[in-house]
Structure 1
């Protein structure tokens, strides 16, 4: 199928490896018309249908403090509503390992200028 010179070797990392060992039996290697270029064809391997079923999904239970703050279970943070703002901030800092500035309200969002839309049809 191939000439002896093509099957002699393929250089990989300084070693000469026979082409028959480098590629599967479905692979085809051809020399182009100019004689300086090797053209290789590697078909996708055929996989039996039985092996194509999806993997079962594992439910991941998130035990982090952040999920307690964002989740539906408010039992861990419900006691913070009764505390003063400063004490609540301190406890949130300790729970989430952040600075106190993360828990201050942002006045810019409340006082943002509400401009009317110039093109209401969009």
Structure 2
């Protein structure tokens, strides 16, 4: 079966990894990487933001395999290690594929918050900078 983007069916983890994990990305690569990874909304409009975790997949998976703290209230798991991330923010609201242009920012010392299914991350976000909270 194919997805709306003509890719073979992805698992939720594969989609998470494709859209959010890249050990070598730089903040100047947002436009290229979002386009290459086909990271758009279902209606082909541009995502307002997309976050890339600068890590190898195994380290991100480990959040769901014992290296994370599960929060019963939210159902999310918080990484115990901190990560560097690239946050790509859309420059022109309402833009549509292929005119998605992003400004990238490198953010450091971030806790990653993920939803785990079958010990794999499937949805995620980055928390605030720990230094801003005096940690």
TM-score (norm 1): 0.22
Structure (1 or 2) with the larger CA radius of gyration = 1
Structure with more helix by fraction: 1
Higher relative contact order (CA 8 A, sep 6+): 2
TM-score (norm 2): 0.20
